Structure 1
Amino acid sequence: MALSVCEEYRALVDKAYNKFSRLRDFPPYGQNKWDFYFRKAFQVYTKLWKFQQDNRQKLVEAGLKRWEIGEIASRIGQLYYIYYLRTSDATFVKESYIFYEAILSREYFKEPGKDITLANKQLRYFARFIVICLLLNRWDMVNRLVRQLHILVEDYSSSFQNSDVKEWKTVTQEIVRFLKADSLAELSRPIRYISALDGQVSSFPSVSKLEGHKALRLKNAVLVSYFHNEVKFSELTLDNFRMLQCLEWEPSGSFYRMKSATDSNAGGLLAQDIADPTLPANPHKYILYRPNIHQLLMVLATACEEVPPDSAVLLYLSAAGTRNFLASSTDSSPDRSDALLEETPVSAGSPRRRVDGSTGLSLGRRGSNVYPGDLLPFTRRPLFIIVDSDASNIFESLCGDERGEPVVLLLSPTAKPYTAKHPGAGSTFTFFLTAPLQALCQMTNVRVTELQQGSYEQAEKMVSSTLLELGNLLASSGSLNVAWGRVLGDPFLRQLLFRFVFARACYSLHRLYVGKSEYYPRCLPPLPEEVLPRSRVVELSVLQVARLLCVADQFIFSENGS
């Protein structure tokens, strides 16, 4: 007997939800089996979506609710987003946006009434949609969604008296704090790689002295971040958010254009919505928040195993040193607000205790500290390591003790002047590596909105040209270490290196930081003298940008005698 339309619909719903649930059982690493089941889930949801469209009238007459259609669309949006996390293909973020935006415009989740389950579905949808819009830099939509989420949480609080109310209020506080910390992003160029500004891949001069080695290409990146009470939304920390973007191509590619004076003043630059089909694939990224040490090592092992020869793996570690890490007495409890989207910041007055043990990096869980020795087995592959920590110096021991390939290290300062701290704004070092001009504005307390019209845009262009000039200096240097020479073959890795050179100069020349080695970033192997902070070209590059921002008096330059 043939199934009725309603029976066939319910069978498809059950099958789709089962496929979706199975995906949750797979670990967040490895590709083969997971990819097979993911495609199966896509096929079922595509069939379900088309079926309900073709039979909408009959299903509505049989009792289909609008929120049920919204639930299907939301699941498809989630599938696209998770697939983006797996593949780093930004196309899937845009596809996710299409479904989430349709839910909003068609009001599928409107008026949940007194049904707490539907109210939670609506809140989860808004929280997930905000993440998608953040990744796409759609700031107008982000602000709109945050306002609506705040209203919905207030309504939820007055309608339902349960344990979730406090956690949903925490979610709204997190996103407001996140947007406040990243407020300059609305006025600036995208963090992603833009060939028109950051240099054409093919135009960069080749490095002649590679001593028989081939240039490296970045294929995999492992991004790890955890600081007590750091800026985050759900499990996406501000530092990881910035880092993941700087390891991607701006989707508009060659269609990207600078913002003109006749455009809206909502942002300093404008990206076209047209995607550039000629762009290479993005490096694959594993994004980890507060992992235990076993998860981190497993992911790193997978990342190293997956890459082909002459490929590099980037490891970004952003965490406090265990010698200074203060953990709350509740640090082992589960993260409730993150569970809502499928951690509630501990208040400043919470009881704390000092974690014992030799110096490493704390990932926020007992027994999950990371030590330099943990990384040695992975140095059989080329590793590009960035450590943003007050204990970053301990990783210097990796150089010279590798197991096969020379490791390269970019290390943050281990301290900063008290007056130079910017609580609730993410790491300044990571900021320099991902958005150098924004970071310089933060370091010098520049209010971009108070600058002369056009000054910030001029500074953006100047920083871009400065970084390319520094890159040419490195490529032509006769004393460039071969480990760095191999890195210059990859656009993402060399851009991080150029920005490090600029950042180191800003730290070294700023009056608040002068004379204290612990205030300066470091790198291993050492870079040539041509790009040291006091070299003429490097010092002049900082001076020119500082003058545009009207903050040259905050630095000590030999060029102008100050």
Structure 2
Amino acid sequence: MNSVVEGERKIIIEFCHLLEKSKVLFNGLRELPQYGHKQWQSYFGRTFDVYTKLWKFQQQHRDILDSKYGLKRWQIGEIASKIGQLYYHFYLRTSETAYLREAFSFYQAIRARRYYTHAVKEDKCELMVKKLRYYARFIVVSLLLNRLKLVDDLIRELDNQIIEYGTTYNAEDQMEWTVVVDEVKAFLDAEPAVQVMSNDVPAPDLSNRIHPDHIPYIERGPHMHLSLQDVIIIGSSTQQAKFSELTIDMYRILQILEKEPIGPAPQALTEDMQPHGPPPAPHSTSRGYVVGDSFRRDNPHKYLLFKPTALQCMVYLASSCNDLSVNGAILLYISADGYIPSHARNNENITGYDGGGFITSGKLESSRESREARSGQTQERSRGKDHYLLYPGDIYPFTRRPLFIVVESNCSDLMQTMPRHFNQPLVMLMSAQELPAGLAERSHQGNLLTLFLNNPLMGFCMSCEVYTIEEGLLDICESLVLDFMFQCVQLILRIRIDMNFFAFMGDEFLRTIILRYLFCECSLRMNRNFRSQSQIVHSIPPMPEELLAHSSLVSIVLKIADQLGVRNHFSDISGPGPGTREQT
């Protein structure tokens, strides 16, 4: 430092100041509550401002920082990685895919510029761990953007980095990183549920985000006044493939609650790349698209809760209800195994807290039943309720606000007696409680109702045990699915469905979910492999038989079955009734 002149010294001091301040602010983001809309925004803005200044400062004074301070390329990569994380977390907070794509651009630039190439030569174990974490985050962002071919490349690179990490440092946590790689491989094996075969190798990455052209229009009447504002996604299935606190079901439901961004994808960033700040004043970027204009900023705000406690679920619900606007609605999505105590299993009239609940945190006392059996007791009423379960009664207070619920569980029927104490719109879509044996064996690939909601054709294929489809046939069948949905909208205007559904139909996301659900219920009722009512999805309020068995909808389902060569799986239920079903 003796050879550093005064001007250079000031530059180094300012850089160190910005670097330290950025770290303090970034760490402080972890302390902010994940729920609520307002608490985090100003803090996030300050953090982003500092990182923007830091990034521009190191660009402007790179020569001095390189020669006098000894700035390493991995340090530049670490700053870029933090900016990518900020964009990613801003995406999680706002659901704006523009920021997910910005995060991708920074992560992609780190790889292209090889910022971490010499990390292993620095003889710092913690630096190599940062590199591995960068790869894990890049994989998550790429998955959310459906860049599956890139994910394959990143997995191979991460695999090699883990081996080098273990060899160089004899690291005790090498096995933990190997588990991370195994998880993402299992995730990719499970998704997509149906493989698209293409003459082009490799096959194209297909996005399941909602495209504006695929949303049937409906004129909003006086009763269609609600807009989806908050989504609470609860995922706790122990059997599904998962990666980075994201199960297959969570991943699929997350996608359909975002619109496909308009405009060109961001290009790989160059050495002079610049971050661009968050709303309320989005900036034009130097990469050919405008964050504020090219993306419609109307995605609902989503909370991703991986194995939350019941109390955490209620805190998020309460926060959403408190922040909800006058015409806002909440979507609660639950993907969890259910638990019903022995004394309630044959009692159809038990509600609230008596009939069992959903294992959201995975901490249910699994030995409870065995202890009861050993003690000769059939029930332990004196012990009270299991506080790890999320009970239907826990949700009753939140029906004060418009609530749209999707339940994916073997005990989905626990929700069907939900009362309407507050005269607010309430709709529930409930999965089947069991599946035919062939499908039950593929539980790691996610649940069937969620797959139908994510991609109706893929759900249809899986329900027929069709696991590959040619790309050309895919296009034909997807066109038929769209015909079904557009036909549904016309029929709904003539066949009066329950007004609770109408209240949500004005919102494009909820309208799409309702129409895809109708496709699911209609096709499963026609499918001979689904023999009992417990294997069929159902809704509260129920959809009218006249709609589900309408000849125009039935004919479209049969056309899809013909195209896929599975017509023998289906019966024609058009007419006055849905056909005979074995009752359970």
1:316 corresponds to: 333
- 2:321 and 2:31 mapped to 1: Cα distance? 23
Question: Are 1:179 and 2:188 counterparts?
Answer: yes
Q: Deviations over 1:482-503 (max 9, x none)?
A: 1111111111101111111111
Question: Are 1:151 and 2:160 counterparts?
Answer: yes
Give the direction of change, closer, same or farther, for the CA distance of 1:357–1:394 in structure 2 (3 Å limit): closer
- 2:517 and 2:80 mapped to 1: Cα distance? 43
Question: Are 1:360 and 2:354 counterparts?
Answer: no
One-letter amino acid of the counterpart of residue 554, structure 1: H
- 1:280 CA displacement: 4.4
2:48 corresponds to: 42
- 2:490 and 2:11 mapped to 1: Cα distance? 66
Q: Deviations over 1:487-544 (max 9, x none)?
A: 1111110111111111112222222212x11001010112223322x33223212111
Question: Are 1:456 and 2:474 counterparts?
Answer: yes
2:100 corresponds to: 93
- 1:360 and 1:231 mapped to 2: Cα distance? 23
1:471 corresponds to: 489
2:537 corresponds to: 521
One-letter amino acid of the counterpart of residue 144, structure 1: D
- 1:282 and 1:134 mapped to 2: Cα distance? 19
Query: Does the CA-based 8 Å contact 2:404-2:428 persist in structure 1?
Result: yes
1:555 corresponds to: 570
Query: Does the CA-based 8 Å contact 1:218-1:313 persist in structure 2?
Result: yes
2:75 corresponds to: 68
Question: Are 1:414 and 2:414 counterparts?
Answer: no
- 1:142 CA displacement: 1.6
| Correspondence for 1:240 among 245, 250, 256 | 250
- 1:111 CA displacement: 2.8
Structure whose alpha-carbon radius of gyration is higher: 2
Q: Deviations over 1:338-381 (max 9, x none)?
A: xxxxxxxxxxxxxxxxxx99510001134321111100110010
- 2:402 and 2:204 mapped to 1: Cα distance? 36
- 1:417 CA displacement: 1.8
- 1:312 CA displacement: 0.9
One-letter amino acid of the counterpart of residue 440, structure 1: F
Give the direction of change, closer, same or farther, for the CA distance of 1:159–1:99 in structure 2 (3 Å limit): same
1:481 corresponds to: 498
Question: Are 1:163 and 2:172 counterparts?
Answer: yes
Query: Does the CA-based 8 Å contact 1:381-1:404 persist in structure 2?
Result: no
- 1:527 and 1:475 mapped to 2: Cα distance? 14
1:436 corresponds to: 456
2:236 corresponds to: 226
2:34 corresponds to: 28
Query: Does the CA-based 8 Å contact 1:205-1:472 persist in structure 2?
Result: no
Q: How does 1:288-367 map to 2 (within 5 A)?
A: 288-323=305-340, 359-363=356-360, 364-366=362-364, 367=387
- 1:63 CA displacement: 1.1
One-letter amino acid of the counterpart of residue 413, structure 1: A
Query: Does the CA-based 8 Å contact 1:475-1:485 persist in structure 2?
Result: no
| Correspondence for 1:445 among 465, 480, 493 | 465
Query: Does the CA-based 8 Å contact 1:197-1:461 persist in structure 2?
Result: no
Give the direction of change, closer, same or farther, for the CA distance of 1:551–1:157 in structure 2 (3 Å limit): farther
Query: Does the CA-based 8 Å contact 2:457-2:481 persist in structure 1?
Result: yes
- 1:252 CA displacement: 2.1
Give the direction of change, closer, same or farther, for the CA distance of 1:540–1:369 in structure 2 (3 Å limit): same
1:15 corresponds to: 21
- 1:187 CA displacement: 5.2
- 1:382 and 1:473 mapped to 2: Cα distance? 24
Give the direction of change, closer, same or farther, for the CA distance of 1:206–1:25 in structure 2 (3 Å limit): closer
Report the 3-state secondary structure (helix = DSSP H, G, I; strand = E; otherwise coil) of the residue aligned with 2:435: coil
1:102 corresponds to: 109
- 1:112 and 1:191 mapped to 2: Cα distance? 37
One-letter amino acid of the counterpart of residue 527, structure 1: M
- 2:295 and 2:66 mapped to 1: Cα distance? 44
One-letter amino acid of the counterpart of residue 12, structure 2: C
Give the direction of change, closer, same or farther, for the CA distance of 1:274–1:250 in structure 2 (3 Å limit): farther
One-letter amino acid of the counterpart of residue 535, structure 2: Y
One-letter amino acid of the counterpart of residue 450, structure 2: T
One-letter amino acid of the counterpart of residue 517, structure 1: Q
One-letter amino acid of the counterpart of residue 412, structure 1: S
One-letter amino acid of the counterpart of residue 161, structure 1: N
Q: Deviations over 1:295-327 (max 9, x none)?
A: 1111111111112112210000010002399xx
Q: TM-score, normalised by structure 1?
A: 0.84
- 1:495 and 1:324 mapped to 2: Cα distance? 36
One-letter amino acid of the counterpart of residue 508, structure 1: R
Query: Does the CA-based 8 Å contact 1:219-1:284 persist in structure 2?
Result: yes
- 1:32 and 1:412 mapped to 2: Cα distance? 34
- 1:189 CA displacement: 4.4
Unaligned runs of 5+ in 2: 1-5, 197-202, 266-287, 343-352, 365-386, 580-584
One-letter amino acid of the counterpart of residue 69, structure 1: I
- 1:446 and 1:527 mapped to 2: Cα distance? 27
Query: Does the CA-based 8 Å contact 1:475-1:488 persist in structure 2?
Result: no
Query: Does the CA-based 8 Å contact 2:409-2:433 persist in structure 1?
Result: yes
- 2:518 and 2:47 mapped to 1: Cα distance? 46
Name whichever of 27-36 and 159-168 sits farther off: 159-168
**Residues paired across the two proteins, number:** 501
- 1:77 CA displacement: 0.3
Question: Are 1:249 and 2:259 counterparts?
Answer: yes
Query: Does the CA-based 8 Å contact 1:220-1:285 persist in structure 2?
Result: yes
1:6 corresponds to: 12
1:377 corresponds to: 397
- 1:437 CA displacement: 0.7
- 2:53 and 2:75 mapped to 1: Cα distance? 15
- 1:65 and 1:517 mapped to 2: Cα distance? 64
1:112 corresponds to: 119
Report the 3-state secondary structure (helix = DSSP H, G, I; strand = E; otherwise coil) of the residue aligned with 1:32: coil
- 1:36 CA displacement: 0.6
CA RMSD in angstroms, aligned pairs only: 2.4
Query: Does the CA-based 8 Å contact 1:408-1:524 persist in structure 2?
Result: yes
Query: Does the CA-based 8 Å contact 1:474-1:530 persist in structure 2?
Result: no
Report the 3-state secondary structure (helix = DSSP H, G, I; strand = E; otherwise coil) of the residue aligned with 1:305: helix
- 1:154 CA displacement: 2.2
- 2:167 and 2:405 mapped to 1: Cα distance? 48
- 1:559 CA displacement: 7.1
Report the 3-state secondary structure (helix = DSSP H, G, I; strand = E; otherwise coil) of the residue aligned with 2:294: coil
- 1:555 CA displacement: 1.9
- 1:531 and 1:428 mapped to 2: Cα distance? 22
Q: TM-score, normalised by structure 2?
A: 0.81
Query: Does the CA-based 8 Å contact 1:473-1:531 persist in structure 2?
Result: yes
2:529 corresponds to: 512
